[in-house]
Chain A
Amino acid sequence: MMATYLEFIQQNEERDGVRFSWNLWPSSRLEATRMVVPLACLLTPLKDRPDLPPVQYEPVFCSRPTCKAVLNPLCQVDYQAKLWACNFCFQRNQFPPSYAGISEVNQPAELMPQFSTIEYVVQRGPRSPLIFLYVVDTCLEEDDLQALKESLQMSLSLLPLEALVGLITFGRMVQVHELSCEGISKSYVFRGTKDLTAKQIQDMLGLSKPAMPMQQTRPAQPQEHPFVSSRFLQPIHKIDMTLTDLLGELQRDPWPVTQGKRPLRSTGVALSIAVGLLEGTFPNTGARIMLFTGGPPTQGPGLVVGDELKVPIRSWHDIEKDNARFMKKATKHYEMLANRAATNGHCIDIYACALDQTGLLEMKCCTNLTGGHMVMGDSFNTSLFKQTFQRIFSKDFNGDFRMAFGATLEVKTSRELKVSGAIGPCVSLNMKGPCVSENELGVGGTSQWKICGLDPTSTLGIYFEVVNQHNAPVPQGSRGAIQFVTQYQHSSTLKRIRVTTIARNWADVQSQLQLIEAAFDQEAAAVLMARLGVFRAESEEGPDVLRWLDRQLIRLCQKFGQYNKEDPTSFRLSDAFSLYPQFMFHLRRSPFLQVFNNSPDESSYYRHHFARQDLTQSLIMIQPILYSYSFHGPPEPVLLDSSSILADRILLMDTFFQIVIYLGETIAQWQKAGYQDMPEYENFKHLLQAPLDDAQEILQARFPMPRYVHTEHGGSQARFLLSKVNPSQTHNNLYAWGQETGAPILTDDVSLQVFMDHLKKLAVSSAC
Chain B
Amino acid sequence: MSQQGYVATPPYSQSQSGIGLSPLHGHYGDPSHAASPPGMMKPVGNLGATAPVVMMSPSPPPPGPHQLGQNGAQASGHSPQRFPGLLPVNSAAPSYAQYQPSTQPSYPSPVSTSSVTHLGSQLSAMHINSYGSGMAPPSQAPPGPPSVASFQGPPRPPQPSVLQPGSQVLPPPPTTLNGPGVSPLSLPAHRQDGLPGLPPLNTQYQPPPPPGPVLGAGYSPQQQAANYGPQMAGAQLSYPGSFPECPAQMAGTPPPPKKLDPDSIPSPIQVIENDRATRGGQVYSTNTRGQVPPLVTTDCVVQDQGNASPRYIRCTTYCFPCTSDMAKQAQIPLAAIIKPFATIPSNETPLYLVNHGENGPVRCNRCKAYMCPFMQFIEGGRRYQCGFCNCVNDVPPFYFQHLDHIGRRLDHYEKPELSLGSYEFVATLDYCRKNKPPNPPAFIFMIDVSYSNIKNGLVKLICEELKTVLEKLPKEEQEETSAIRVGFITYNKVLHFFNVKSNLARPQMMVVTDVGEVFVPLLDGFLVNYQESQSVIHNLLDQIPEIFADSNENETVFAPVIQAGMEALKAAECPGKLYIFHSSLPTAEAPGKLKNRNDKKLLNTDKEKILFQPQTSVYDSLAKDCVAHGCSMTVFLFPSQYVDVASLGLVPQLTGGTLYKYNNFQMHLDSQQFLNDLRNDIEKKIGFDAIMRVRTSTGFRATDFFGGAFMNNTTDVEMAAIDCDKAVTVGFKHDDKLNEDSGALIQCAVLYTTIGGQRRLRIHNLGLNCSSQLADLYNSCETDALINFFAKSAFKAVLHQPLKVIREILVNQTAHMLACYRKNCTNPSAVNQLILPDSMKIFPVYMNCLLKNCVLRSRPEISTDERAYQRQLVMTMGVADSQLFFYPQLLPIHTLDLKSTMLPAAVRCSESRLSEEGIFLLANGLNMFLWLGVSSPPELIQGIFNVPSFAHINTDMTLLPEVGNPHSQQLRMIMNIIQQKKPYSMKLTIVKQREQPEMVFRQFLVEDKGLYGGSSYVDFLCCVHRKISQLLN
Contacts and interface: CB of A to CB of B under 8 A. Distances in A.
Interface of A: 173, 175, 181, 183-191, 194, 196, 203-206, 213, 249, 251, 254-256
B523 A187 contact: no
A188 B513 CA distance: 7
Nearest to A196: B514
Nearest to B518: A191
B547 A254 contact: no
Nearest to A173: B521
A604 B512 CA distance: 36
A173 B522 contact: yes
B916 interface: no
B497 interface: yes
Given A184-B509, A254-B523, A254-B525, A249 B504 contact: yes
A251 B499 CA distance: 12
A255 B547 contact: no
Contacts of A186: 508-511
B524 interface: yes
A692 to B, nearest CB: 44
Contacts of A205: 513
A194 B552 CA distance: 29
B465 interface: no
Nearest to B498: A184
Contacts of A203: 513
Given A191-B519, A254-B522, A254-B524, A185 B511 contact: no
Contact of B521 (A175, A181, A213): A175
A204 B509 CA distance: 15
B599 interface: no
B543 interface: yes
Given A173-B521, A213-B552, A254-B523, A185 B506 contact: yes
5 contacts: A183-B506, A186-B510, A187-B511, A191-B519, A255-B524
A225 B540 CA distance: 33
Contacts of A256: 523
B911 to A, nearest CB: 55
A208 to B, nearest CB: 11
B524 A189 contact: no
Interface in B480-536: 494, 497, 504-514, 517, 519, 521-525
Contacts of A249: 504-505, 508
Contact of A204 (B513, B523, B543, B547): B513
A185 B509 contact: yes
Contacts of B506: 183-185
Given A184-B547, A249-B504, A190 B509 contact: no
B798 to A, nearest CB: 40
Contacts, number: 64
A196 B512 CA distance: 14
Given A184-B506, A190-B513, A254-B525, 6 more contacts: A173-B519, A181-B547, A185-B506, A187-B511, A251-B524, A254-B524
Contacts of A206: 513
Contacts of A194: 514, 517
B546 interface: yes
Contacts of B511: 186-189
A178 to B, nearest CB: 8
A187 B510 contact: yes
Contacts of B521: 173, 175, 189
Contacts of A204: 494, 513-514
A736 B96 CA distance: 115
A213 B510 CA distance: 24
A195 to B, nearest CB: 12
A191 B517 contact: yes
Interface string B729-755: 000000000000000000000000000
Interface residues of B, number: 25
A255 B514 CA distance: 20
A196 B517 CA distance: 12
A74 to B, nearest CB: 57
A203 B522 CA distance: 22
A213 B547 CA distance: 17
Contact of A184 (B497, B508, B512, B524): B508
Contacts of A184: 506-509, 540, 543, 547
A191 B518 CA distance: 8
Contacts of B497: 189
A541 B509 CA distance: 51
A499 B511 CA distance: 48
Contacts of A188: 510-513
Contacts of B523: 254-256
B514 A190 contact: yes
Contacts of A254: 522-525
B439 to A, nearest CB: 13
A190 B518 CA distance: 9
A185 B508 contact: yes
A677 to B, nearest CB: 50
A188 B519 CA distance: 12
Nearest to B521: A189
A565 to B, nearest CB: 74
A183 B543 contact: yes
A249 B505 CA distance: 9
Which of A186, A187, A188, A189 neighbours the largest number of chain B CB atoms within 10 Å of its CB? A189
A184 B537 CA distance: 12
A189 B508 contact: no
Given A191-B517, A254-B525, A175 B510 contact: yes
A469 to B, nearest CB: 62
B573 to A, nearest CB: 10
A185 B540 CA distance: 11
Contacts of A187: 508-511
A189 B504 CA distance: 19
B512 to A, nearest CB: 5
A153 to B, nearest CB: 17
A299 to B, nearest CB: 12
A254 B524 CA distance: 6
Contacts of A191: 514, 517, 519
A632 to B, nearest CB: 63
B55 to A, nearest CB: 66
A230 to B, nearest CB: 15
A190 B520 CA distance: 10
Given A184-B543, A213-B552, A249-B504, A189 B512 contact: yes
A258 B993 CA distance: 70
Closest 7 CB pairs of A and B: A189-B521, A254-B524, A204-B513, A186-B509, A188-B511, A189-B510, A185-B508
Nearest to A200: B514
B317 to A, nearest CB: 54
Contacts of A173: 519, 521-522
Contacts of A183: 506, 543, 546-547
Nearest to A245: B505
A181 B496 CA distance: 14
A47 B514 CA distance: 47
A405 to B, nearest CB: 30
Contacts of B540: 184
B564 to A, nearest CB: 11
Nearest to B546: A183
A39 to B, nearest CB: 54
Contacts of A190: 513-514
Contacts of B524: 251, 254-255
Nearest to A174: B521
Interface string B901-926: 00000000000000000000000000
Contacts of B546: 183
Contacts of B513: 188, 190, 203-206
A255 B525 CA distance: 11
A191 B520 CA distance: 9
Nearest to B524: A254
Contacts of B512: 188-189
B329 to A, nearest CB: 61
A251 B501 CA distance: 11
Nearest to A187: B510
